[in-house]
Every structure is written in C-alpha cells, then in structure tokens.
Amino acid sequence: MIKVLVVDDSKAIREIEKKYLEEMNFKVLEAENGEEALRVLEENPDIKLILLDWYMPVMNGFEFLKKVRENSKWNEVKIMMVTTENQQKNILEAIMNGANEYLMKPFDKEMLKVKIQYLLEGLEL
C-alpha cells in the first residue's frame, strides 16, 4: 500500500484529503505543519507522495519543500502543493524549488485522483 503524507494546518482539509486518499487505497499519514511533517518523513522513509499546504504556522509549505529537496534521500518523493495560493509567481517558485504538481483548493476527488495518477505513473495504485 502506497504511503501518502498530508500536510495542512486545517484538520478539516486533512480529513477531506484523507477520506479521498483512503478511498483510492492509500495509507495516509498526517502532519499539521512543515516541522511535524519532517519528523513523519524521517520516521517513514517509504512515503511516496506528499500533499502540501502553503500557509501553515511553525514551518510553511514552501520552507518544508525546500528542506525536503535539499536532502537527496527524498529525491524520489513526489510533492504536490495543495493550496489556495494562486499567485503565478509563487506557483512558479514552488515548481522551480521542486514541487512536482499543483492543485488549487477547493478541489474534488476526481481532480485529486487525476493529479495523483499523473504523479505516480508507473506505480501500482
């Protein structure tokens, strides 16, 4: 079963993403900020995908993204920004700093599924 880490300071958003992901047969881990997410990632080196919010306390999504991409042991992990952030400059900056995909909130299960299928192409879903 493929492990996915959902990082969002909103419990409601984490619950929605978790529900959708579990319906797609993923094992879901959660964190409410980037610092907590780094700990979860360290403890679960088999995580394949991270759904990452931009705006969070302690360590935001962009800071977390840069930290993960600085460490070569996480090169294979796919990261999708899932956020209300819609400034083109920021979207480009996230992609240039290692985000693999971008999904705007609000979204539905189908939109999420299409993006994940694209990201995890070749992996058994």
The percent of residues above 70 in pLDDT, for the chain, comes to 96
Instruction: Provide the residue ranges of all domains of the chain, joining segments of one domain with +.
Output: 3-119
CATH code of 3-119, in short, is: 3.40.50.2300
* Phi, psi torsion values for 53, nearest 5 degrees: -75, 155
User: pLDDT-based confidence at 123, cuts 50/70/90?
Assistant: low
Is 0.85 surpassed by the pTM of this model? yes
Q: Which candidate, 36, 88, 33, 40, places its Cα nearest to that of 61?
A: 33
Residue 7 host element (H or E):
strand 3-7
| Polymer length of the chain | 125
Q: Which candidate, 68, 4, 11, places its Cα nearest to that of 35?
A: 68
Contact indicator for 26, 52 with CB cutoff of 8 Å: no
User: pLDDT-based confidence at 44, cuts 50/70/90?
Assistant: very high
Q: Which two tokens stand for residue 106?
A: 């609000």
* Phi, psi torsion values for 122, nearest 5 degrees: 95, -20
Q: Which two tokens stand for residue 31?
A: 């964190």
